[in-house]
Amino acid sequence: MPRFDKLEFGREPEKDSPSPKPASRRRDADYWVQQADENRRDGLYENALRFYSRALEMDKSLVPCWLGQIRMLIHLEEYRQAELWSRTALELFPGNAGLLAGRAQAFCRMKQIRRAHELCDGALQQDPKSAYVWLVRGELMVAGRQEIDRHCFDSAQQLDSDWLVPLEIALVYLDYHNPAKAMARARRAVDSAPDRHYPWYVQGLCQQQLSLDAQARESYRNCLNLNPRNADAERHLAELAGQHWSPLAVLRRLLAGFRSPAQ
């Protein structure tokens, strides 16, 4: 049985989850939506998934929570589950642009590109001013190695100034093994939210993949200063401490410099 068929909640939260809110606060749907959003901003996608589900248990009309579930499943690489949940949600909310885009992104990750394009086209017709729809359109351009991905991602950022937008664009580029383009978007997220640990972590990933080891160490340390419980940042710092100079690393750094476009 797939991991998230029933989205049960008996498991412990992820390790670097924020401290729980005071028990005196009423735990209504809004409370769980806030918890989901905060965990998403910390990169704790499994926690966020479960909190979106708790909110939906209380109010199934919350379309953003349906979409939140789908997007968290995609972050967790549960693409078939994401497609299933998007199909279920679209039965309740036919033609919703965000849900169409979520299904398109799931199909894109499963390499069903033609179906993904059809769904994304439908999403753009429904809501051409949705940042998420443009993010998915940009991912389709990246997957198809088309050069207008930058236009699509810039459109997403213009429509929504939240630092999560460039951060999640960076994650798309990393998923497609393009740390040079990811780096510019991660840097923008860091500039917009220097007090949040997750943008520093993602920037560190980009720098490490570009063999910018000193810069990666600084990003991971900044991440840990803001959240000492981030085990992934600790692990990457340990990896960097064990690395030795090699001609391959120098060549990768030089090539990255030639590939990196101005964003």
Residue 222 parent element (H or E): helix 213-226
User: Does the structure show a pLDDT above 80 at 65?
Assistant: yes
Check: CATH 3.30.70.360 for 28-137?
A: no
From 1.10.3720.10, 2.60.40.10, 1.25.40.10, 1.10.240.10, which CATH number describes the 161-263 domain? 1.25.40.10
**Cβ(77)–Cβ(71) under 8 Å?**
no
- Where exactly are the structural domains of the chain? 28-137, 161-263
CB 224 within 8 A of CB 182: no
Question: Hey, how many other C-beta atoms are within 10 angstroms of the C-beta on 14?
Answer: 17
pLDDT tens, position by position, 98-154? 999 999 999 999 999 999 999 999 999 999 999 999 999 999 999 999 889 999 999
**Mean pLDDT of the chain, nearest integer:** 89
pLDDT beyond 80 at 9: no
Q: Alpha-carbon distance 156 to 263, whole Å?
A: 14
Residue 2, pLDDT > 80, answer no
Do 98 and 63 contact (CB within 8 A), yes or no? yes
The pLDDT value given to residue 11? 42
Contacts of 228 (CB under 8 A, 6+ apart): none
Q: Do domains 28-137 and 161-263 have the same CATH topology?
A: yes
